[in-house]
Amino acid sequence: MKLVFATNNLNKLKEVQALVPPQIEIVSLADIGCTEDIPETSPTIEGNAKQKIQYIKQNYGMDCFADDTGLVVDILNGAPGVYSARYAGKDKNAKANMNKLLNELTGKENRDAHFKTVIALELNGKQKVFTGICEGTITLKEKGQGGFGYDPVFQPKGYTKTFAELPLLEKNKIGHRGKAVQQLIKFLNS
């Protein structure tokens, strides 16, 4: 089976390819010649994931899946949420996003947060949605060199290391995207 993963984020592509069994071939947007930025204008994470698969189906006629992920911080009323990638501005600067988040949490005791990933699948004319959540806290400062996005400031519940300090295999087992991808794989294999 061949499926398009509707993302230009090479880090996400690498994470997902590490989880998918060999009988499912994941092709990227670059592989199908899609170089444009797919609109993400929905006010919800699920809506953005669906928007991406609809774009690929309409413009390329291919079965595909897409994800959207948000970091939800309790004391910030769910921010950055759907705006996680653009929290500090339109240029999607991960360092600026983390700095803004850490500044907004200065002096706050409650640093509870969770990552939420929604994967939308378009397959044989039908849509299906899978959701993965990983609970944790926001650290006081960045720790670790791995991962991407907010990984250096997100410490999953029950762990003493941030996502950026964990090996990819470990992160995929407990992480939001890994949980959603496992549901997707189970569905595709059923």
Are the CB atoms for 155 and 139 separated by under 8 Å?
yes
- Annotated active-site residue 68? The verdict is yes
| Cα separation, 81 vs 114, whole angstroms | 10
| Cα separation, 128 vs 173, whole angstroms | 22
Q: Which of 63, 67, 68, 151 is catalytic?
A: 68
The alpha carbon of 31 is separated from its chain's Cα centroid by a whole number of angstroms, namely 20
| Cα separation, 137 vs 158, whole angstroms | 10
| Cα separation, 71 vs 80, whole angstroms | 6
- Active-site residue numbers? 68
